[in-house]
Structure formats: structure tokens, C-alpha cells
Structure 1
């Protein structure tokens, strides 16, 4: 007999009903986000045929040029999630301020943060991109207040109750954690449903593959240069083995690779802008990806401390990122903490 495939809905219901791992409201919220990702996937797949390639000529709050698909994806996620009654507010990498659920809709107890289209600079060259999302609970006193505010979002990553990403590549996949490991679903385009294809995703502790933008090497801090130099030395160096370098310049794609087959992904701070702690956004990228990596048995730090222990000070705060196979991340972190570095 052919084994029945498990859908995202079935997986979430079993987590709710059997394992008591998530409340019904959170289950419904995840399903709404997943449906929005299907819509974004469809828009991405159209490419030039749908007139969605290219830039708008506008900039987001970080001063980055917005692609047409950045704005489309942001609107899809806002419209899909504002009316369900599961959220009190949303925050997006593409918007300067938070988006409070309009009064005409019921409000829920969760807050949703997202990067609507990570790696969008790769859209026009048909490289894998994705949507990253993170769910936290609103502070308990929100119900008694007239307004929710930005400070309600400023919670360390370890308070997340769910996180995941959709990757739009040769297959569209949804990678998810609700705090009980990491699972992956593949979009069956004919049926229009997410099907469980990767159960209990685990990152190997050791790896011989690293991902970093080597063009910035002259700007790196000494601990990063030390680690990469050791990797590049190969079998003749102190590591005694050869390493491969991979760099896609799409965080979703680079992290997806290490979740599936191991590796270390690094986007360290550098000397170009010494006043900035890093390039990637803590709330929209680093925290949700760190949650996934840790749930898969990996490790995620900013080079000195666990990313999910960092207390955010702003909605669009940036952070250095070192994540992936535990033993390699620990080595890089030790180098940063060593007085020799």
C-alpha cells in the first residue's frame, strides 16, 4: 500500500492535538503564513512573464533599493495576515514602523515579523530567494492597552514560539520549527498543498564547507581571517583537511544548504562601517534562522555570544552572524573570545 503523505495542516493538527506543542491560534497563524508564501512563490515563478522583475526606484528603511517583488511580497503578507484574528501587529524589514492590526479586525496574542523576500537582489538572475518569518507572543498586558508599540517587539530570540522560511528554488519548500525540531515541506504545485518531505532535519556537527563573502576579506576582523585562512590551507594546514567555499548571497539559500547537508554560514562585522555590529537584521533574519539552526542541532552566535540571547534595542537592529555546524561555529566563537585574536 502506498504510504499516505502528511500535509502541513495534518502535521500542525497532530502537534496541537497529540503533542500539545502549539495552541490552535498559532497553528492557524502558521497556515495563513504558509498560504501567503504560496502566493509569493507563484509571483516569483512568473518572473518576466508577470512583469515583476526589476526595481521600483524606491528605497526601504535600510536605504536599499526595493525590487518590485519586495513590495509585492510585503503586501501579500500584510493582507493575508491582518484579518485572521491571530495577530496584534506585524513588523517587516521593508517598513520603518510596525503595522498594527486595523480596528475593523479582531486582534490576537501574537506578533509576526518577516523579511518578505530575502535575497531579492538575485531575483533578476533567477537564483533561489525566500521569505523568512518569526512569531513571538505579545506582552501579557497588551490586551489592556489601547495601543501596541515597537517596544513590544523588542524581545530576545529565545522567546520565539515559531519560525521558518519558504525558499523559492527548483522546488518551493517551507522549513519550520515550533520548538520541537525542524521539518521541511515541499509544495506540490498540482495539488496546491505543502507535503512533509524532510522530517527531523539535523545539521552534522562537523563540516568541510563554509559560506562567506570572500570579497570583504580585507575588512574582516582577525578571528575571522584566522579561521578562513586555516580552512584555505587545506590538508597542509593545521586543520588537516580540505574545505569547499560556497556563497549564494541569499541568506535563505545559504542557510538552507547547511540545514540539509551541514556547513557554516558567516556574515561577520567588518571595518567598512565599524560603528555597525553587522549587516544582517537581528529580528527578521538572524533570530528566526538561529532558532531553526539550534533546533536542528547547530549553533548560532554573533562571534561572541548566542544570537538568541541578544536583547534587541531597535526594530531594524543589525548583527554579525556565524551559524551552522556546531563544532565549526564553536571554533570561530572561541577565536573571537581568545585574547590572542
Structure 2
């Protein structure tokens, strides 16, 4: 049941095939929410013994969430192929032949928090499928910049289960009701230009570049430092939860490059995490920086599991980071 969400999609003028895919994704997340709710009781928080393409040990719930999205979203007639952070290769669903869509997702972001009952989430991105001769989709079809996204969103499984979605404009917010429907919350997501909070994993301090260390130390110095005002620092270790806070009450989220990454541009995945979250942030009035090219949405895409440095949130703070070349 997705009555409120269906009405929103009609208002947005979304093509029927796109609406069907978004609704299928939202329905899959309802099922995942139930699993998350009873994860510990069902031993779903424990490690599965398998590793994903990133070399990370998967929780049982990671695998189940991935399977649910693959199964439920394939029912959408306009879906041509899918790609998941948990899988090596793309999953063709229907041949490319006219209008259609490509779905990318991180089935369970922040899954290391499952066993301590901290908010986690699902992130998704929808790209237009190439209009080409009838053939199965391949990896190259997914290598589109973030600006090509037709829709993006996430579901955060917390005290409430919340869906945040953008199709054409500012992010819309829906809450999962007891009857399984998505109810519009009426919330307006607008990120103030000036930040009062920042989210960063301070335990990586020693690995950051010297300019990044100096910049964060300036925040920590508060009113006595170069910024002349106090900042709060937050870190949940779930991108969904950390960025949801930025979208809800402002601030910045950073996961910058550090020395351990060597030639890699960053830690987070461009297609599954950075691009969809950045689209939401920029449409809420925020900004982003990939540490090299400017906006994350303009970062050239070279691979399905490409990583990137991520800095996003309050436009004033991001402008300072860009100017400093961080």
C-alpha cells in the first residue's frame, strides 16, 4: 500500500514506468523494514561467512535485503537491469528496447550497526536505460554521471521508517504507517547555507591529508578557532542516518580521502551511495565536493564499483572546502 506515495508521483509527472519502479522499490523496503525490526530475534544480525565484491563480510540481513530488492523490483515492467553494491556484476532483467530504467542500490547501508540497534538504511538510484538495439544491459550502460539520475532516494530504518525521495524537485519525506502505506510527512527539506554541525569519523584523523586535519581542527577549536563559532560533531557510521540528519537540520557530512586509500579516490561508492545522496542534498539547497572535480554529480564514472571522496551539505561550508582544495 503506497497511496500517499502514488499521489506524489502523479504530482511530479513521473512516467508510469518510473512510478512503478519507485513503488516496487518502496514496497521492497517495507519488507526489509520488517526484517530489520526482528533481525536480532531471527539471528539476522550475525555474519553470513560470505564477502561482497568490496571484500566486506556480509551480515545475513545484507544478503536477504539484496535478494528482496532483486525479486520485488524485477516485477516493474520498465526495469531493464539492476546493479547492487553487494554484487560483482549487473543483473539484466529485460532487453533494452525503448524507454526503460536502470536501478542501482545499496541494500543495507550501515549494516555494521545492526547488532547494536542503530539506524541503518537502503539507498537507491534510478538512471535512464540507453535507447539502443534489443540486447541485455551491460556494465557500460550504468556508467552515467549523477546528473543523469531520473530519481534517487533512501529509506532509513530507525524509530520511524522514513522514505526520502526526489524525482524532479526538493526531497519529499514519507513515513511508513502501520498498514504498510507511505504517508507524506509534510516536512520540507532545506539545508541552511551555514553549518552548525559536522559529521566525520574522527578516528581517521591521523590518516587525513594535512589540510583536512587543519580544517577539522579549526571546527573543533570552536569560538576560539579560525571560524569564530562553535560546532557540534556527530558520527553514526551509517551514511543514511548521518545524511538524513544533514537534510533534516543542516550541517555537513564528510568521508574524505585518506592515506590508506592510496590511488583510490575515496571510500564510499559513487553509484550506490554518493550520487543518490548528493542529488537529494543539492536539491535541498546544499552542495557537494568530490575532492577533485567539483560537484559529485559531475564526477566522471569509470566503473560499477568506483569509489569517491564525499563532502556534502551546507553550501557555505562546501564552498570553503572547495576553495581550500580539500
Q: TM-score range by the shorter chain?
A: over 0.9
> Given that residues 88 and 107 in structure 1 are in contact (C-alpha distance below 8 angstroms), is that contact kept between their aligned partners in structure 2?
no
Name the CA distance, whole Å, in 2 between partners of 1:166 and 1:96: 23
Does residue 303 in structure 1 map to residue 294 in structure 2? no
Shift of 1:146: 2.2
State the shift of 1:101 in Å. Answer: 0.6
Instruction: Tell whether 2:112 aligns with 1:112.
Output: no
TM-score normalised per structure 2: 0.96
- 1:1-341 matches, within 5 Å, as 7-16=4-13, 22-101=14-93, 109-141=100-132, 144-189=133-178, 191-304=179-292, 305-336=294-325
When structure 1 is superposed on structure 2, of 316-325 and 326-335 the one drifting more is 326-335
Equivalent pairs counted in the alignment come to 324
Asked if the contact 2:222–2:228 (Cα under 8 Å) also holds between the matched residues in 1, the reply is yes
Aligned equivalents of 1:90, 1:35: Cα separation in 2: 16
RMSD: 1.7
* Distance (Å, rounded) in 1 between the aligned partners of 2:271 and 2:182: 26
Question: Following TM superposition, by how much is the alpha carbon of 1:227 offset from its aligned partner in structure 2, in angstroms?
Answer: 1.4
- After superposition, give the CA deviation of every residue in 1:259-313 in whole Å (9 maximum; x if it has no partner): 0000110000011121111000000000000000000000011123111101110
Instruction: Specify the SS of the correspondent of 1:272.
Output: helix
The residue aligned with 1:3 is none
**Corresponding residue number in structure 2 for 1:19:** none
Deviations 1:184-214 (A, max 9, x none): 001112x211111044311111111111111
Question: How much does 1:59 deviate?
Answer: 0.2
Q: SS at 2:253's partner residue? A: strand
**Deviation digits for residues 109-151 of structure 1, max 9, x if unmatched?**
100000000000100110000000000001121xx13222100
SS of alignment partner, residue 38 of structure 1: helix
Secondary structure at 2:152's aligned position in 1?
strand
Alpha-carbon offset, residue 13 of structure 1: 1.9
How many Å separate the matches in 2 of 1:108 and 1:76?
25
Q: Tell me whether 108-117 or 58-67 shows the greater mean CA deviation.
A: 108-117
User: What is the DSSP-based 3-state SS (H/G/I as helix, E as strand, rest coil) of the residue aligned with 2:124?
Assistant: strand
The TM-score with structure 1 as length reference comes to 0.92
- Which ranges in structure 1 are unaligned for 5 or more consecutive residues? 1-5, 17-21
**282-291 vs 202-211, which deviates more?**
202-211
Could you tell me how far apart the structure 2 residues matched to 1:84 and 1:107 are? 15
Contact 2:199 2:253 (C-alpha < 8 Å) held by counterparts: yes
